[in-house]
């Protein structure tokens, strides 16, 4: 079955239901774009892909192809299958939100953000979250340096780079093309770009 191509516009989010064995590719169409990524168990009010649990499952700060990723109830929800990118993906940073643009970036007023993008696409699915889980920030070049200091660099993802994932349970997979345009995480020009999802039913 050919993949369903789902364009996701710059600064927006999208959610798609996956069944076990489905393949989902997150494609950095233009390069340099950070993609906040979540997954939620279907049929459960609030069971989600947990960065904390998935890090401890492998006792690493980052995931590698082949790794199973877990919910906060220690159930496998996704498997990281393939990485066609420079391979740097953040697991530590919370999703940006209206308040973070004010606090960290000095922005005045309302700035588009990944938290609201997620809430919007989940509301369309009839779901409301009590809190926003820490996303897996695909292509985000935030690293831990000497003395455990964290540092942001512009994403080094190239046009067409992608990460490929396999669903391990029935889940709602959600992404936000991060609207950050103040600090340069979305490339050196700090310009938010669109992305693409490629969904293949039973692709793995
Ligand atoms: Zn964001």
Q: What is the whole-number distance in angstroms between the Cα of residue 186 and the centre of ligand 1? A: 10
Task: Return the bridge partners of 167, or none.
Answer: 78
Ligand 1 center from residue 45 Cα (angstroms)? 24
Distance 34 CA to ligand 1 centre (A): 8
Which DSSP state fits 170?
Answer: S
d(CA 161, CA 83): 8
Q: Tell me the CA–centroid distance for residue 2 and ligand 1, in Å.
A: 30
Tell me what pLDDT residue 168 has: 98
For the chain, the residue count is 204
What pLDDT shows up at residue 129? 92
Q: What is the mean pLDDT of the chain?
A: 97
Average pLDDT of span 44-64: 97
Give dist(CA 160, CA 202) in Å, integer. 23
pLDDT for 121-179, tens place per residue? 999 999 999 999 999 999 999 999 999 999 999 999 999 999 999 999 999 999 999 99
- Give the residue carrying structure tokens 């959600």: 174
pLDDT value at 1 more than 90: no
CA of 117 to the centre of ligand 1 (A): 9
| Predicted local confidence at residue 130, as pLDDT | 93
Cα of 100 to ligand 1 centre, how many Å?
10
Confidence of residue 199 (pLDDT cuts 50, 70, 90): very high
Q: Compute the distance between CA of residue 177 and CA of residue 49 in angstroms, rounded to an integer.
A: 18
């Amino acid at each position: 079955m050919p993949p369903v191509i789902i364009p996701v516009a710059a600064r927006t989010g999208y959610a798609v239901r996956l069944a076990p064995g489905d393949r989902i590719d997150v494609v950095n169409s233009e390069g340099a774009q950070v993609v906040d990524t979540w997954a939620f168990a279907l049929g459960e009010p609030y069971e989600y892909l947990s960065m904390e649990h998935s890090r401890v499952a492998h006792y690493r700060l980052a995931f590698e192809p082949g790794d199973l990723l877990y919910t906060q109830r220690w159930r496998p929800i996704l498997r990281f299958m393939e990485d066609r990118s420079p391979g740097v993906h953040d697991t530590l940073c919370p999703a940006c939100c209206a308040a973070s643009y004010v606090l960290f970036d000095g922005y005045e007023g309302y700035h588009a953000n990944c938290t609201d993008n997620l809430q919007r696409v989940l509301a369309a699915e009839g779901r409301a979250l009590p809190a926003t889980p820490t996303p897996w920030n695909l292509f985000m070049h935030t690293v831990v340096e000497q003395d455990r200091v964290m540092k942001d660099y512009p994403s080094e993802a190239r046009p067409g780079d992608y990460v490929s994932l396999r669903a391990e349970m029935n889940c709602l997979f959600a992404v936000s093309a991060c609207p950050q345009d103040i600090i340069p995480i979305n490339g050196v020009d700090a310009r938010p770009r669109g992305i693409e999802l490629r969904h293949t039913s039973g692709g793995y």
